[in-house]
Chain A
């Protein structure tokens, strides 16, 4: 037994011998034995120390056992202290009862049997020890409770301080959702007091457009015991609404039941505005991009296209989700792909702007010339994020440029022709006059006259060439009525020998006798050129079809005559198609002047007419058709159809 676990046993007897004998008997118990030889002394001992058992002799001088017991019991501290009476004198039942009534626990008569005394004392000592341990345990527990209470108080105070310093509006509700607490920020924001919000809580502050949804959500969450979240505007004290992100989480007690709801409202007005600005700026960009007359694209860091505007999608007839990996490059003309890839990749590597001209397939399959200008996208933090580019269809511009170059060339040719004509025509006239005079000179003999004749004849050829090629001049200032097929017949007459020689079948379809106002020799020159070319192209025979119709031009509504001259000859190589009306362009090598079609077109343009051609080179044979339209029929002519001429 540990020393501090010993209990005190107080032995009271006026006879020292008895005290000694008790001491011997109880010594074996190993408890702490206190001795008192009188009642007074016993009381002193009791006050000094905590006594488990009092062993006392009933009969003692001046203060007997019963009197002492009474005094002990009166003191509240000793009401439960065990008392064992030892008596040699009073052996009656009455005495025994008297002893119990006084609260004694036990009674031992003399002669004392040592084992009995030891056993009884031992029981009470043990009882006391247990009681003492229980009391100690109790005290410890109470102390711990007090400490915990203290800790909790501190923790709650910390929580409130914290909850009052966060920028959010915070609240706590009971398990049923009724508000129990709001933080300071809440009161500041709403300018309310606890009394005003304890019943309805936040309800009156939710924007009316959102209230129904928000409250339903909260109800659901409370019923299910699950966290809640929503975004809605809350009214501020000045009546203005601001957007909040609201959250609530359940706090469970030790048994898992919901003890509290803890909620926060975070002001997200700025974020929302910023987000709206981003959305708005994105929307604005898209509207702008979609209405721009330019095809716009954006490429990411991996060089892949991530955005095409509407014009791009409409142009190509493809959208981003169609094979997005190579959506751009797959539309590029095969001959331009390598160049495009190279320029694009090297621009990416160096992060510099680039400009690229290439052919891109349009939705209808036609390749169009595109000029593409790409600019690196550099963010405010100088971070490179890809490219943005604009593409423009420059096919027409390119064609116009080419046409302009051609027409400038033509104009220059025209000016040159004018100068040459002037410089040749002046001496030509003088020479012609000189030969005219010479040939008629009376002194000329036959030989000399023949030489003059020859010279004059050759001179006429020169004059003819300058008139035919270098000059558009009109013989007469006033146009006359010209019958188109009279002129055509005239030309065919002139060419009849060559037509026969080449074995060409002639198919005349003159469906109009229409006459137009003009200059017969000019028109004759045009037809002579075209028919001459057709015959030239059919060296091994073929079919020459010449057709005349009255026609109303679709574009302008003008009425006029349409003349078709078609041959089944060698055809026109497509690569020459754009050039055949250019001056000095010829496929006849040394034989042609290269001016025939150029002059013909010039003449037809003077009539505000048009000259076009179409040439097909097929395995079954070639066909070339020149169509001339000359306006100038005032009104639909009733007598225009002359049956006798059809298929002549």
Chain B
């Protein structure tokens, strides 16, 4: 399953959490590219192959939801997961395929990514 490496674009404005997340995902067998802003992420999505986008929700200038909206305009089939520390699921989270809390932990995160990639049912 991991022979043909899947590429995940990881977006977050905070450097250290982004780095650690990349390392966890690499351990799980994914290829990871990172972006420090939504604008950078859009450039990457336009310039190279990406299988999934895992983006922070609250970022300066362009938010995660806005990023997913713009991605879906050109690449409706590219899965986007919003990853956040906020309480409430924001109203515009629907642009993404999944809204996920940051406190789920690395194991759950990988599980959910697998679900989204495998088009598995999202609940349970």
Contacts and interface: CB of A to CB of B under 8 A. Distances in A.
A422 B85 contact: yes
Contact of B17 (A421, A422, A433, A471): A433
Nearest to A471: B87
A434 B105 CA distance: 11
A477 B100 CA distance: 9
Contact of B27 (A440, A473, A477): A440
B26 to A, nearest CB: 10
B62 interface: no
Contacts of B102: 425-426, 428-429
A437 B106 CA distance: 9
A434 B14 CA distance: 15
B19 to A, nearest CB: 9
Contacts of A423: 85
Nearest to A473: B101
A424 B89 CA distance: 17
Interface in A413-427: 414, 417-418, 421-427
Contacts of A424: 85
A interface secondary structure, majority: helix
B23 A421 contact: no
B73 interface: no
B14 A426 contact: yes
Interface in A383-442: 414, 417-418, 421-430, 432-434, 436-437, 440
A477 B93 contact: yes
Nearest to B107: A436
Nearest to A477: B99
Contacts of B58: 422
A460 B27 CA distance: 20
Interface stretch (A286-294, A344-352, A462-470): A462-470
Of B101, B103, B122, most A-chain CB atoms within 10 Å: B103
A430 B103 contact: no
A436 B123 contact: no
A474 B100 CA distance: 8
B17 A477 contact: no
B86 interface: yes
Contacts of A474: 89
Interface in B47-65: 58
What's the interface size class on A, roughly? 20 to 34
B88 interface: yes
Contacts of A480: 123-124
A426 B12 CA distance: 11
Contacts of B103: 425, 428-429, 432, 463, 466-467, 471
B36 interface: no
B99 A433 contact: no
A418 B84 CA distance: 12
B16 interface: yes
Given A421-B86, A437-B23, A473-B87, A430 B101 contact: no
Contact of A421 (B16, B87, B98, B99): B87
A414 B88 CA distance: 10
Contacts of B86: 418, 421-422, 425, 473
B88 A473 contact: yes
B20 interface: yes
A358 B99 CA distance: 53
Interface string B56-82: 001000000000000000000000000
A472 B27 contact: no
Contact of B20 (A418, A421, A430, A472): A430
Given A480-B123, A480-B124, A426 B85 contact: yes
B68 to A, nearest CB: 13
Contacts of B6: none
A476 interface: yes
Contacts of A475: 101, 104, 123
B93 A437 contact: no
Nearest to B20: A433
A432 B88 contact: no
A646 B120 CA distance: 37
Contacts of A436: 24, 27, 105-107
A478 interface: yes
Contacts of B104: 475
A515 to B, nearest CB: 14
A463 to B, nearest CB: 4
Contacts of A472: 87-88
Interface in A469-502: 470-478, 480
B106 A478 contact: no
Interface string B26-59: 0100000000000000000000000000000010
22 contacts: A414-B87, A421-B85, A425-B86, A425-B103, A426-B85, A428-B102, A428-B103, A429-B21, A430-B16, A432-B105, A433-B21, A433-B24, A437-B23, A463-B103, A463-B105, A467-B103, A471-B103, A472-B88, A473-B88, A476-B124, A477-B99, A478-B123
List of 7 A-B pairs having minimum Cβ-Cβ separation, nearest first: A425-B85, A430-B17, A429-B102, A433-B20, A476-B123, A436-B106, A418-B87
Interface of B: 14, 16-17, 20-21, 23-24, 27, 58, 84-89, 93-94, 98-99, 101-107, 122-124
Given A418-B88, A471-B101, A477-B99, 20 more contacts: A414-B87, A421-B85, A421-B87, A422-B85, A426-B102, A428-B85, A428-B103, A429-B85, A429-B103, A432-B103, A436-B24, A436-B106, A437-B23, A460-B105, A463-B103, A467-B101, A472-B88, A473-B87, A474-B89, A477-B89
